[in-house]
Structure 1
Amino acid sequence: MVQRILDPGQIESIDHSAIPRLRMPERATVFSTRAARLRQLAGASPIGGYIRLMATLADAQQQTLAQISATMPSTESIALAQQHSMPIAPATTAERDPLWRDVLQRLLDRVEAAGLVTPMLARVIDDLRVKRAEELDALADAVLALRFNEVEPASAPFVMAALQVVWTDIASRIDQRAVPYLDASGACPVCGVPPVASIVRVGGQFEGYRYVQCGLCSTEWHVVRVKCTNCDSTKGIAYHGIDGGSEALKAESCDECHTYRKIGYQEKDYDFEPLADDLASLTLDLLMNEAGYKRSSPNPMLWPEVPSDE
Structure 2
Amino acid sequence: MVQRILESAASIEALDQSAIPRLRMPERATVFSARAARLRQLADASHPIAGYLRLMAALADAQQHVLADFTAPMPSRESIALNQQHSMPIVPALGANQRDPAWRDVLFMLLDRIEAAGALTPPLAQLVAHLRSMSADALDAQADAILALRFAEIEPAAAPFIVAALQVVWTDIASRIGSAEVPYMDTSGVCPVCGTMPVASIVRVGGVHEGYRYVQCGLCSTEWHVVRAKCSNCDSTKGIAYHAMDGAEASTAQTAEDEQARAERARNAPLKAESCDECGTYRKIGYQEKAYDFEPFADDLASLTLDLLMGDAGFRRPAPNPWLWPEQSASDEASQADESDEAR
TM range, normalised to the smaller chain?
over 0.9
Residue 278, structure 1, aligned to residue 300, structure 2: yes
For CA contacts below 8 A with separation 6 or more, give which structure has more relative contact order. 2
Between 1:244-253 and 1:117-126, the stretch displaced more is: 244-253
Does the 8 A contact of 2:214 with 2:226 survive in 1? yes
Offset of 1:70 from its aligned partner?
Answer: 0.2
Mean Cα deviation higher: 201-210 or 35-44? 35-44
Write the letter of the residue equivalent to 2:184. Answer: Y
1:283-298 paired onto structure 2 within 5 Å? 283-298=305-320
How far, CA to CA, are the matches of 1:252 and 1:14 in structure 2?
Answer: 20
Partner of 1:70: 72
Aligned to 1:25: 26
Within 5 Å, give how 1:253-268 maps onto structure 2: 253-268=275-290
Q: Secondary structure at the match of 1:197?
A: strand
Cα RMSD, aligned residues only: 1.6
The DSSP-based 3-state class of the residue aligned with 2:324 is: coil
In the alignment, structure 1 residue 162 sits paired with structure 2 residue 184:
no
Measure the CA separation in 2 of the matches of 1:72 and 1:28. 19
- Aligned letter for 2:86? H
Deviates more, 1:6-15 or 1:242-251: 6-15
Q: How many residues align?
A: 305
Q: d(CA) in 2 for partners of 1:38 and 1:204?
A: 25
Report Cα offsets for 1:255-286 as digits up to 9, x if no partner. 00111000000010110000000000000000
Give the letter for the 2:20 counterpart. Answer: I
3-state SS, counterpart of residue 54 of structure 2: helix
- Residue 59 of structure 1: which of 58, 61, 70 is its match? 61
Counterpart contact for 1:238–1:252, Cα < 8 Å: yes
1:227–1:233 contact (8 Å) kept in structure 2: yes
Structure 1 residue matching 2:35: 3-state secondary structure: helix
Runs of 5+ unmatched residues, structure 1: 1-5
- Establish whether residue 110 from structure 1 lines up as the match of residue 113 from structure 2: yes
Equivalent in the alignment of 1:306: 328
Distance 1:272 1:85 in 2: 31
After superposition, what is the alpha-carbon deviation per residue over 1:283-307, rounded to whole angstroms, capped at 9, x for unaligned? Answer: 0000000001001211011011124
Q: Quick one: which amino acid aligns to residue 278 of structure 2? A: E
Q: What is the percentage of aligned positions where both structures have the same residue? A: 72
Unaligned runs of 5+ in 2: 1-6, 248-264, 334-344
Bigger Cα displacement from structure 2, 200-209 vs 42-51: 42-51
- Contact in 1 for aligned 2:92/2:98 (Cα 8 Å): no
Per-residue Cα deviation, 1:14-71 (whole angstroms, up to 9, x for no partner): 4322110000000000000000000000114211100000000000000000010001
Q: Shift of residue 308 of structure 1?
A: 8.5
Q: Give me the whole-angstrom Cα distance separating, in 2, the residues matched to 1:45 and 1:80.
A: 47
- Rounded to whole Å, the distance in 1 between the matches of 2:224 and 2:57 is 24
Equivalent residue in structure 2 for 1:128, among 123, 128, 131: 131
1:251 aligned counterpart, secondary structure? strand
Amino acid at match of 1:25: P
User: 2:182 — aligned with what?
Assistant: 179
Q: Is the 8 A contact 1:53 1:116 kept in 2?
A: no
* Distance across 1 between alignment mates of 2:328 and 2:12: 40
Q: What residue is the counterpart of 1:35 in the other structure?
A: 36
CA distance in 1: counterparts of 2:76 and 2:136, whole angstroms:
24
For residues 11 and 20 of structure 1, the distance between their equivalents in structure 2, rounded to whole angstroms, comes to 15
Report the TM-score when normalising by structure 2.
Answer: 0.86
Q: Deviations over 1:78-136 (max 9, x none)?
A: 11011110000100132311110000000001011111421111111111101111111
User: Are 1:21 and 1:221, in contact at CA under 8 Å, matched by a contact in 2?
Assistant: yes
Q: 1:239 aligns with which of 232, 239, 242?
A: 242
* CA distance in structure 2 between the aligned counterparts of 1:192 and 1:304, rounded to whole angstroms: 22
Given the superposition, is the C-alpha separation of residues 308 and 19 from structure 1 closer, same or farther in structure 2, using an over 3 Å criterion?
A: closer
Q: Give the C-alpha shift of residue 178 in structure 1.
A: 0.5
| AA matched with 2:317 | R
